[in-house]
């Protein structure tokens, strides 16, 4: 595995790989890799000739007061994990190279970016869309792999790709969970042991709601109430939102629909956690 820092080097390498007829699979990450990231890398390994992963903690998607400074990092551990996952190139650009000046160019996805996470974290998805577009231009992937855990992010990126006619196939893979059902996230490292045990309630609430759906309960308000009730049963969990939305537009549903995504954001102490469950 080669580690690449300069943007120009990564870009010319990607260009030459494409010119050789090799397909490029890309897994953009913010590092502190876990089994979720690795599942994406393994999928890229299966589907593409060359696998590029990136590690870049993108400052522009963090709001003031968010966890940019304390975001967990482990460059050495990440390198070993990428090697084990048979990544070919690990791209680790410097922030000063990605943003040599105060950013003035932005990609925005209106509507999708303004609800749920976007309502709580203004500017977050513009930061995400912009950096992903930059990374796509640098890494030139045929396919890019994202985890469903960040459901809204996936929706924003898919919309960006179609809106800007980017020639990249977006592949969304299932959320990887620990034994308790907690969705893998680099931010889980913030959790104390007792908080981590509490956090399992998120997936339990969503799974129970899914069971309700299977049993014929499809009224969004009822499902949301059920999820809230289960979440509230765990002390220390404070709910930021519980929503049932259209899986494509993320518009909140007000009536029974066959397709829906259930999305949850909670706080556990200082830690924000999100999760979701798709019902099709």
CA dist list (Å): 57 to 108, 140, 254: 19, 20, 37
With CB under 8 A as the contact rule, the residue among 106, 217, 236, 270 that binds its own copies is 106
Of 25 and 220, CB closest to its own copies: 25
Kindly determine how many residues on this chain lie close enough to bind its own copies according to the rule CB under 8 A: 31
Binding mask 17-36 for its own copies (x = CB under 8 A): -xx-x---------------
Among 161, 202, 160, 159, residue whose Cα is nearest residue 178 = 202
Binding region for its own copies (CB under 8 A) out of 15-23, 37-45, 193-201, 210-218 = 15-23
158 token code pair: 């898919």
Please say if 37 is a catalytic residue: yes
Q: Under rule CB under 8 A, which residues in 170-209 are in contact with its own copies?
A: none
116 token code pair: 């749920």
Q: Under rule CB under 8 A, which residues in 137-166 are in contact with its own copies?
A: 137-138, 140, 159-160, 162-166
Least distance between its own copies and beta carbon 68 (Å): 20
With CB under 8 A as the contact rule, the residue among 34, 79, 134, 272 that binds its own copies is 134
Q: Which of 5, 34, 37, 203 is catalytic?
A: 37
At residue 32, what are phi and psi to the nearest 5 degrees? 50, 60
Least distance between its own copies and beta carbon 11 (Å): 6
> Does residue 7 touch its own copies according to CB under 8 A?
yes
> Does residue 111 touch its own copies according to CB under 8 A?
yes
Least distance between its own copies and beta carbon 167 (Å): 6
Q: Which residue shows structure tokens 């519980």?
A: 242
CB neighbour burial string for 29-53, b if at least 16 within 10 angstroms, e if fewer: bbbbbbebbbbbbbbbbeebebbbb
Least distance between its own copies and beta carbon 161 (Å): 9
Q: What's the CA angle centered on 188, arms 186 and 190, to 5 degrees?
A: 100
CA dist list (Å): 245 to 7, 66, 129, 209: 38, 26, 21, 14
Of 63 and 181, CB closest to its own copies: 63
Residue 54: beta bridge partners?
28, 91
Dist CA 36 CA 104 (whole Å): 32
For binding to its own copies (CB under 8 A), which residues are involved? 7, 11, 15, 18-19, 21, 103-112, 129-130, 133-134, 137-138, 140, 159-160, 162-167
């Amino acid at each position: 595995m080669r580690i690449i820092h300069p943007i120009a080097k990564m870009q010319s390498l990607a260009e030459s790989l494409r010119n050789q007829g090799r397909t490029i699979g890309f897994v953009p990450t913010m590092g502190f890799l876990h089994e979720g990231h690795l599942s994406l890398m393994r999928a890229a390994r299966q589907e593409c000739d060359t696998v590029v992963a990136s590690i870049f903690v993108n400052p522009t998607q963090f709001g003031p007061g968010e966890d940019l400074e304390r975001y967990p990092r482990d460059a050495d551990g990440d390198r070993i994990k990428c090697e084990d996952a048979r990544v070919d190139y690990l791209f680790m650009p410097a922030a000063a190279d990605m943003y040599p000046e105060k950013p003035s160019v932005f990609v925005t996805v209106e509507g999708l970016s303004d609800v749920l996470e976007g309502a709580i974290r203004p500017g977050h998805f513009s930061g995400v869309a912009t950096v992903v577009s930059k990374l796509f231009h640098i890494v030139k992937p045929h396919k890019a792999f994202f985890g469903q855990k960040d459901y809204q992010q996936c929706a924003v990126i898919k919309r960006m790709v179609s809106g800007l006619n980017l020639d990249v196939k977006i592949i969304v893979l299932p959320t990887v969970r620990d034994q308790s059902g907690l969705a893998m996230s680099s931010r889980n490292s913030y959790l104390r042991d007792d908080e981590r045990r509490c956090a399992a309630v998120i997936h339990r609430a969503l799974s129970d709601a899914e069971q309700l759906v299977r049993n014929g309960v499809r009224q969004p308000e009822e499902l949301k109430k059920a999820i809230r009730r289960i979440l509230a049963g765990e002390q220390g969990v404070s709910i930021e939102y519980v929503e049932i939305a259209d899986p494509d537009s993320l518009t909140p549903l007000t009536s029974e629909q066959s397709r829906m995504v259930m999305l949850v954001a909670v706080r556990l102490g200082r830690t924000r956690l999100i999760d979701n469950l798709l019902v099709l």
